[in-house]
Structure 1
Amino acid sequence: MKILKILWVFFFIASCTKKEDHPYTFYYWKTSLKLEQEEKKVLEQAPVPYLYTRFFDVDKVNDQFQPIAVITKDKSFQTNKQIVPTVFITNRSLLNISGEGIKFLAASIHHLIQKKTEEYHLKTNNEIQIDCDWTAGTRDDYFKFLKELKKVSGKEITCTLRLHQVKDKKQTGIPPVEKVYLMCYSTSSPLEKSDKNSILDVNVLKSYLSKMEDYPIKNIEVALPIYSWGIVTNHLEKHKLINALSKKDLENPNFKKISDHEVQILKDGFYFGNYLNKGFTIKVEEISDEQIQDVVSFLQKKIPHFNIIYYQLDSKFVLDRNF
């Protein structure tokens, strides 16, 4: 009887501490739709049957809406995943937009998505995802645009949700969609001098999402970062980014180690495709599996069930990553 009690207690503890399962997939954010072998392998292993694929960006240039970097497709591209067309819209595109402008923008985006889907014979699902860092000043017009896009496309319209849009929901409003994608990265600007990791500082994220359970939309998926970069700082304290750098890249006899993730350049030269001067510093920011798990454990207490979409699918970021 005593043994049975011990076994029951052990089972109870084990069940309480069981890691919750979160099916995952990826964002694809390159301008050319092409999968390397490692990317294809990792994508095939992902349990979620979708690949969230950036089709193009929209910006306003000389007061005209412009599609930027429209996606192309390599002949070799193949996947059994359904493509979810994703479009990034700059906030300034929505400033002082008219009612006619909203209708034109929605119709144009729908038309270009249709055109590319047919041209590249893509198997899409019934969803269009819009990514926009809307603000209190653009919220009403952005929400009208989301409704108009749903009307003209007949699709389910979803959108991304940034951390400040959760924290300041009274100012930024609640989008008129049934599902949102919580972007758990970009916790600060990489172009500001800071000791924090600008891609993801877990404590900053937790403070922004402390009341996440009160958010009115309950159908929430979670976007998590697996990307990395290097922040180069010159003599004038000006910064620029070099994509996909890791700590391994800092192992160079021309670099003097300042900290575990930062070096100073000892000799002028070309590094990572950029000409960098002696005295410049490079700080690498990347995300560990432990940080990801910390965020997931925190969100499990706030969101009942969620899938994970990793940003982004790239062989530089998926190699040796524990999904």
Structure 2
Amino acid sequence: MKILNILWVLFFIVSCSKNENHPYTFYYWKTNLKLNQEEKKVLAQASVPYLYTRFFDVDKIGGKFQPVAVITKDQSFQTDKQVVPTVFITNQTLLNISSEEIKFLAESIHHLILKKTEEYHLKINNEIQIDCDWTAGTRNDYFKFLKELKRVSGKNITCTLRLHQVKDKKQTGIPPVEKVYLMCYSTSSPLEKSDKNSILDVATLKSYLSRIEEYPIKTIEVALPIYSWGIVTNHLEKHKLINALSTKDLQNEHFKKISENEAEVLKDGFYFGSYLNKGFKIKVEEISGEQLEDVIRFLEKKIPHFNIIYYQLDSKFVLDRKF
């Protein structure tokens, strides 16, 4: 009996210490829907049957609501996954918006989603996801918009949730949805001078999410970054981004390595599609598997169960990465 008890305790300890296996899928955030063989393969292996696909952005230009960068579709975009239409709305779109404009905005977004779905024969599910970095000043109108979009579309409306919206929930409010997608990236601005990784600084994230378990909406999915970029700094300390750079790209005879992820340009020329002068500095920011694992283990103590949506599906970011 003693041996059985000991074995049971050991089994319990092993079971509790085993890492949870989280179902996962991806965001697709390019304007032209197009998949190469590597992307198709990785997507097919994803265990969640959805692909969160950006359809268009919405901005207010010249006082009028405008769809920006509406998707087009290539014949190569073929998948068994159901598409979840995702729309990014700028915060300025919601400033000083009237009730009539909220209704117009909801109807326009719904109709454009339907139009693109039919035009490209997309297999969509019963969800529309809205991505907006709303603030205390726009929260009430944004929440009215979410309710109106649910009414006109008849769909399940979900939305993204940024770190500051968790930390400052009393000011930014709780959106009227049943499910949110926690964006575990963009922990700081890449255009500010800092030693921290602006895509994901794990210590900063843990600070912002220290009380995420108290968040009123309990169905939370987790968006994790797998993208990378280079931050170029010129002689005037001005910064600009070059997408999808990795530390491997710093191995160039015209660069002088400063550190593992930084280099100085030694010769004027075109690099990565941009003209860079001698003396410009390049800092690469990318995300390691260890960083993502750290975030996942932290969140497992806070959120009972969650799916993972990796941002984003691109062969530049998925090659050689284990999911």
Alignment TM class, shorter chain as reference: over 0.9
For normalisation by structure 2, the TM-score amounts to 0.99
1:35 aligned partner: 35
1:58 has 2:58 as partner = yes
Match of 2:166 in 1: 166
What are the superposed Cα offsets for residues 156-197 of structure 1, whole Å, 9 maximum, x if unpaired?
000000000000000000000000000000000000000000
Once residues 163 and 81 of structure 1 are traced to their aligned partners in structure 2, the CA distance between those partners, rounded to angstroms, is 28
* 1:239-279 Cα distance to aligned partner (Å, 9 max, x none): 00000000000001111111110001111111001100000
Describe how 1:9-88 pairs up with structure 2 within 5 A.
9-88=9-88
Q: What amino acid maps onto 1:219 in structure 2? A: T
Counterpart of 1:296, as a letter, is: I
Please state whether the residue corresponding to 1:10 is helix, strand or coil.
Answer: helix
Deviations 1:35-84 (A, max 9, x none): 11000000000010000000000001001011000000012221000000
Segments of structure 2 that go 5 or more residues without pairing to the other structure are none
Q: Secondary structure at the match of 1:166?
A: helix
Deviation at 1:11, TM superposition (A): 1.7
Q: Residue in 2 aligned with 1:269?
A: 269
Within a 5 Å distance, the mapping from 1:195-274 to structure 2 comes to: 195-274=195-274
Query: Could you tell me how far apart the structure 1 residues matched to 2:77 and 2:59 are?
Result: 28
The 5 A counterparts of 1:122-133 are 122-133=122-133
> Does residue 160 of structure 2 align to residue 143 of structure 1?
no
Correspondence for 2:106: 106
TM-score normalised by the chain length of structure 1:
0.99
Instruction: Specify the code of the residue in structure 1 equivalent to 2:39.
Output: E
- Moved beyond 6 Å, runs of 4+: none
Structure 2: distance between partners of 1:77 and 1:286: 27
C-alpha RMSD of matched pairs (Å): 0.9
3-state SS of the aligned residue for 2:146?
helix
Shift of 1:4: 4.3
Residue 145 of structure 1: CA displacement? 0.3
Distance (whole Å) between structure 2 residues aligned to residue 241 and residue 280 of structure 1: 13
* Aligned twin of 2:289: 289
Matched residue, 1:280: 280
Identity of aligned residues (%): 84
Secondary structure of 2:92 counterpart: helix
**Which residue does the alignment assign to 1:180?**
180
**Bigger shift: residues 172-181 or 70-79:** 70-79
The letter of the residue matching 1:317 is F
Instruction: Measure, in 2, the Cα distance between the counterparts of 1:216 and 1:3.
Output: 45
Separation in structure 1 between the aligned mates of residue 315 and residue 218 of structure 2, nearest angstrom: 33
Measured in 1, the distance between the counterparts of 2:247 and 2:75 equals 34
Q: Look up the equivalent residue of 1:69 and give its one-letter code.
A: A
Give distance in 2, aligned partners of 1:182 and 1:295.
Answer: 12
> What's the offset of the Cα at 1:9?
3.7
1:77 and 1:232 map into 2 onto residues whose CA distance is: 33
User: SS of the residue aligned with 2:270?
Assistant: strand
- Map Cα deviations across residues 124-181 of structure 1 (whole Å, 9 max, x no partner): 0000000000000000000000000001000000000000000000000000000000
Which residue in the other structure is 1:306 paired with?
306
2:95 is aligned to 95
Distance 1:5 1:129 in 2: 49
Check whether the contact 2:264–2:282 (CA below 8 A) recurs between aligned residues.
Answer: yes
CA apart distance, 1:3: 5.2
